[in-house]
Amino acid sequence: MKKLEELYSGKAKSVYATDDADRYILQFRDDTSAFDGKKIEKLARKGMVNNVFNAFVMKRLEEAGIPTHFDKLLSPQEALVKKLEMMPVECVVRNIAAGSICRRLGITEGIDLEPPTFELFLKNDELGDPMINEYHIASFGWGEAQHIERSRELSFAVNDVLKPMFLEAGMLLVDFKLEFGLYRGEVVLGDEFTPDGCRVWDVETREKLDKDRFRQNLGGVIESYELVGRRLGIDFDEATAVREGVDS
């Protein structure tokens, strides 16, 4: 596998072309951002932790029959993924009220949402990722109705796999954000599932173990990401011993 030019550098990851026209390399950097890129910091080990965490979760989802872009880990900070035609839409599933839904609807943080709720946001930092609905997506051509419907179905399927997995490990999966894209006409889960894009609380103490530690300056951000991973059964040392050899 040959790593070719950088195609895109986002807030936390960089996307590289490869000599396979159907594959990209995602590089998880140590950069951490919040509030649509207004708060930015480098946190040591973060790229490795998120890359390995994401690989673990994507594999569990594949095993459960959810199509994902993940192929394999290439190095501590790099993964090989299917090249997707991404939809500029963020799908959010919420099991417990936290974050923007509390501000928007005046809801107390921590209330159980039964059934879990689903929201769509436009991926646009300049506009602050505004909330949108299926009609906006159709009118502005951000995605086809059937693809959005499938994304919603897959989002709930992801919740059905991960919510019990976190609970068994002593954690509440409060909410999470997913991004989907198309691969050969099929809707496939792309981007990442890491503590950067979800909320996770300890089931006993309700301590925040996710990116809210960064947003709210609670400290111990990466230590906490690793703790979540270890509780799920991830061995970060073993995983980073993986080296597929990428030619640059």
Contact residues: ligand ADP, CB under 6 A? 8, 10-13, 15, 24, 69, 81-84, 86, 179, 181, 190-191
Stretch that binds ligand UDP, among 37-45, 61-69, 93-101, 142-150 (CB under 6 A): 93-101
Residues 6+ apart with CB under 8 A from 46: 28, 29, 30, 31, 32, 221, 222, 225
| Under 8 Å between Cβ of 55 and 43 | no
Q: Show contacts with ligand UDP in window 128-147 (CB under 6 A).
A: 129
Residue 177 makes contact with ligand UDP by CB under 6 A: yes
DSSP summary character for residue 107: P
Q: Which of 76, 143, 181, 197 touches ligand UDP (CB under 6 A)? A: 197
Q: Among ligand UDP, ligand ADP, none, what does residue 67 contact (CB within 5–8 Å per kind)? A: none
| CA-based end-to-end distance of the chain | 9
Question: Looking at beta carbons only, is 11 or 152 nearer to ligand ADP?
Answer: 11
Q: Which stretch binds ligand UDP (CB under 6 A): 109-117, 140-148, 156-164, 172-180?
A: 172-180
87 binds ligand UDP (CB under 6 A): no
Cα–Cα dist 207/200, whole Å: 8
> What does the alpha-carbon distance between residue 174 and residue 162 come to, in Å, rounded to a whole number?
11
Q: Which is nearer to ligand UDP, 38 or 184 (CB)?
A: 38
Alpha carbons 126 and 201: distance in angstroms, whole number: 30
Find, among 148, 156, 169, the residue nearest to 53 by Cα.
Answer: 169
CB of 89 to ligand UDP, least distance (A): 11
